[in-house]
Amino acid sequence: MRNRIESLRKDLSASEENKADAADRLRESERQISRLQRELHELGQQRGQIQKKLQNLEQQSKELAATLTQQQNQLDSLLYRQYLRGTPDSLQLLLNGDDPNQTARDLQYLSAIAMTRAELMNEVSITLEKKKALAADAKERAEEIREIEAQQQQRHGDLQKQREERKALYAQVSDRVKAQRKQIGTLQQDERRLTELIDRLSRILAAQAAQAAKAAREAEAARARAAEAARAAEATRLAEAARQKEKEKEKPRSRPGEEVREAPRPAPASEPARPRAVEAENHYEPAASDGSFARQKGNLRLPVRGTLAGRFGSPRDGGGTWRGLFIKAGAGSDVKAVAGGRVVFAEWMRGFGNLLIVDHGDSYLTIYGNNDSLLKQVGQGVKGGETVATVGNSGGNPDSGLYFEIRHQGQPVDPMKWASLK
């Protein structure tokens, strides 16, 4: 599916390049900004994970230090006791004429001290080795953090340079962008391209869902056949056992003193082999949707906090009506997925800038446009409430904000019937 979507993306890019539009001059710059932002986001996540490991290593080091102190105190105590008792020779103790029982106890006590001392010294040695290994590991993690920080600094510099280039470009073409956006034909063309994209994506996803459903049916049929075979084998075993029991009842009784040889018993019927679990669940394909997205109607939250500047069905500047929502929000604000799903499109598109589309199954898609950066890529799963992009004004939009749509079977639906502002 990823290959088919990539082919679709290339077709879309080719068709974009064949048309002249003022916003197209911003395309490569906005793509680069999105890529650099995503790389910075990923580096930040890596840095956070390594810092957690480093903190864990520091905690382990503290615990080992406490253990080492305790072991050293115990060792000091044992050495002091041994010093007080001395290290008398066993022969000398016997020649002194002391009580043999007391002498034996003293020798046993001294032997126990020596053994305990040796064990403690071994434990101290092991603890020191662990601390040494932890220190080396912590040093390695700290070096990784420094490398990531250096990469982040470089990406920040590249990002700042790219933003300045986009700002200069936008200043050059802003008048043309505004004029073109006011043309009814331009808006209609943008909407038509988005609809064509949704239709082609829907066909790809429908074909994949059909394949997954077919695989599920075949797996279920295989399980049913295996279960039926197991039941038939069990019935055969029970019938054979019943026949053997009847034969046992019909055997003549032996006379007194007459030895009766027991007929050899038939080998017990072997337990029918249990069918192995079907491996064909096709873990690399999505399972058929259970309709969970549809059950969330009326309980969703909008993907970003902000002001509703354009509502579904209301007139739009330049003609036509809104087919989704435009939510004004500050640049860089987090855009969150409204529900769990999988990214099926993440690319720049004329009129919508950096565009992200999430498939929620059961022919439901959510669309997030005009983003400053896309933090997820095609094929990645997302959870409801997870940050998937950041707010911007890519695609030639004069205002910073998010364009948001919900589509079912390719048709736009009113997001406010699905989401609540309360």
pLDDT grade for 3, boundaries at 50, 70 and 90: low
Q: What is the mean pLDDT of residues 134-159?
A: 83
Q: What is the pLDDT of residue 181?
A: 60
Specify the fold of 25-179: Helix Hairpins (1.10.287)
Q: What is the pLDDT of residues 231-275, one digit of tens each?
A: 888 888 888 877 787 777 666 554 544 444 544 554 444 444 444
pLDDT grade for 415, boundaries at 50, 70 and 90: very high
pLDDT grade for 91, boundaries at 50, 70 and 90: low
> Is pLDDT of 354 > 90?
yes
> Is pLDDT of 395 > 90?
no
Q: What is the pLDDT of residue 276?
A: 43
pLDDT grade for 113, boundaries at 50, 70 and 90: low
Q: What is the pLDDT of residue 253?
A: 56
- Selected residue with higher pLDDT from 357 and 189: 357
pLDDT grade for 355, boundaries at 50, 70 and 90: very high
Instruction: Please state the three-class secondary structure of the chain as a single string.
Output: CHHHHHHHHHHHHHHHHCCCCHHHHHHHHHHHHHHHHHHHHHHHHHHHHHHHHHHHHHHHHHHHHHHHHHHHHHHHHHHHHHHHHCCCCHHHHHHCCCCHHHHHHHHHHHHHHHHHHHHHHHHHHHHHHHHHHHHHHHHHHHHHHHHHHHHHHHHHHHHHHHHHHHHHHHHHHHHHHHHHHCCHHHHHHHHHHHHHHHHHHHHHHHHHHHHHHHHHHHHHHHHHHHHHHHHHHHHHHHHHHHHHHHHHHHCCCCCCCCCCCCCCCCCCCCCCCCCCCCCCCCCCCCCCCCCCCHHHCCCECCCCCCEEEECCCCECCCCCECCCEEEECCCCCEEECCCCEEEEEEEEECCCEEEEEEEEECCEEEEEEEEEEECCCCCCEECCCCEEEEEECCCCCCCCEEEEEEEECCEEECHHHCECCC
Q: What is the pLDDT of residue 375?
A: 93
> Is pLDDT of 46 > 80?
yes
Q: What is the mean pLDDT of residues 33-56?
A: 85
Q: What is the pLDDT of residue 286?
A: 32
| Mean per-residue pLDDT over the chain, rounded | 76
pLDDT grade for 280, boundaries at 50, 70 and 90: very low
Q: What is the pLDDT of residue 22?
A: 57
Q: What is the pLDDT of residues 195-223, one digit of tens each?
A: 888 888 888 888 877 777 778 778 888 88
pLDDT grade for 129, boundaries at 50, 70 and 90: confident
